[in-house]
Amino acid sequence: MMNRRQLLGAGAGGAALLSTTAWAQTSNMGLPEAALMDGPATQPPAAPASGVPYNPVVTLNGWTLPFRMNNGVKEFHLVAEPVERELAEGMTAYLWGYNGQSIGPTIEAVEGDRVRIFVTNRLPEHTTVHWHGLILPSGMDGVGGLSQPGIPPGKTFVYEFDLVKSGTFMYHPHADEMVQMAMGMMGFFIVHPKDPAFMPVDRDFLIMLNAFDIDPGSYVPKVMTMTDFNLWTWNSRIFPSIDPLVVSKNDRVRVRVGNLTMTNHPIHMHGYDFEVTCTDGGWVRPEARWPEVTIDIPVGAMRAYEFDAVHLGDWAIHCHKSHHTMNAMGHDVPTFIGADKRALTRKIRLVQPEYMPMGSTGMAEMAEMSMPLPDNTVPMMAGWGPHGPLEMGGMFSVVKVREGISAGDYSDPGWYENPPGTQAWEWTGDLPEASRAAASPVGADPVSGTAQPENPHAGHAGHN
């Protein structure tokens, strides 16, 4: 993490970076200096140096905004500004965000704190910040035109209020909201309970569901898109560039998910059942919870769920809308499943000998072939695991549960090795003669026209 002065120093002369706490020591009690994040790596949790202790959250591919104490008030400085966000390796978007990144930094504080949040506007138009779910005075609610005038470009406004309840909240603009949220402006606001013994967890992960519509080869989101987004993101990041959720066996784990897209997302986690313990309205009483393996996150809402990490393994966590685990996908591609492309292929190969007909057997082959793409684009299906292509993109990651990971260690432990005898294996014994449908063109060689396996079903099962 750098402040702006450090960034300038590093850029101008390659001077050694100052310590990351320098900003707090050198600031006078005027405007707090605004910390700036220069990359998308998940930052280590920010444990409180003083005051009420709490277990800090981990924002995947994100970070927590530092604060300073000023006469008992926690002071933060958000800067609304244009940012360049790496959505994935090989793809950067020109977004609007806060303090150098989209999503903005996570604000963490404690129930009972008084906070003072300076918001500087470096956007080309006015903005405000709405504190979603927090109980506060009407004039601090951040609705442009209703609770306050917009913050003009170049100006700084101050929000100040008491945190009267703990829980899971968000912040986002309430000024030209459609455009500013489509451009990536949003962040988390986590209020820890003042009693550290209230529902403690060992790991506390944050995932903000957001979405962009960026044409392949371009950089700026189309802000008028309502539902047909082509990049489905967590914390403005797409798989396989979303970091895993690293967990030590027997940890108590909380995952808090917020949705600021324009459709619902059923978030499904493999390997466990779990219960919703908190919403943006507050903590859920134990007698009001029920077990789930998929939690639908409504638009404009947050859900936090918890589980005890007793099952070792690599467990997928993803949105269960299958179009949301794809990247940069066009929706007007015709379906070719079952289509006989042999005659077409012969004709095309007269002019383009390398032509490969695709899509007749499904689309998995697209994940294995590297096809040329425009600059600044990612493949539709991506990600390789220890056993081949994952054929996933967008809203997907992996919960990695391992023995003996130290508290505070979130580094990727690599792939899980299934113990002998616990992984699906191939049957190599005799296969009975299949007595189902006759050969269809699906399994046919596209050029010769010879049907390859006598029966496509038997052909699948008896691969060798």
Give the footprint of Cu ion on this chain (CB under 5 A): 265, 319, 321, 324
Which of residues 252 and 323 has its CB atom nearest to Cu ion in the complex? 323
What is residue 245's DSSP assignment? E
Which of residues 319 and 392 has its CB atom nearest to Cu ion in the complex? 319
Report the nearest approach of Cu ion to the CB of residue 297 (Å). 8
Report the nearest approach of Cu ion to the CB of residue 267 (Å). 8
Which of residues 34 and 395 has its CB atom nearest to Cu ion in the complex? 395
What is residue 443's DSSP assignment? G
Which of residues 231 and 399 has its CB atom nearest to Cu ion in the complex? 231
Report the nearest approach of Cu ion to the CB of residue 327 (Å). 13
Report the nearest approach of Cu ion to the CB of residue 214 (Å). 17
Which of residues 93 and 295 has its CB atom nearest to Cu ion in the complex? 295
Cis preceding-peptide flag for 103 (omega within 30 of 0)? yes
Report the nearest approach of Cu ion to the CB of residue 395 (Å). 5
CA 70 to the chain's CA centroid: 34
**Under the phi-then-psi rule, with left for phi > 0, alpha for psi from -120 to 50, and beta for the rest, what region is 388?**
left
Which of residues 218 and 263 has its CB atom nearest to Cu ion in the complex? 263
The SS3 call for residue 216 is: coil
**Residue 170: what residue type?**
M
**Residue 387: what residue type?**
H
Please give the C-alpha separations between residue 198 and each of 54, 162, 426, in angstroms, as whole numbers.
Answer: 10, 20, 48
Report the nearest approach of Cu ion to the CB of residue 373 (Å). 23
* Residue recorded with tokens 């709490």: 54
Burial tier of 338 (Cβ tally within 10 Å: 0-12, 13-18, 19+): exposed
Which of residues 122 and 321 has its CB atom nearest to Cu ion in the complex? 321
Strand (E) or helix (H) holding 325: none
* Residue recorded with tokens 């299958």: 322
The SS3 call for residue 233 is: strand
Cis preceding-peptide flag for 240 (omega within 30 of 0)? yes
Q: How many residues does the chain have?
A: 464
Query: What is the C-alpha to C-alpha distance for residues 87 and 215, in angstroms, rounded to an integer?
Result: 14
Report the nearest approach of Cu ion to the CB of residue 210 (Å). 11
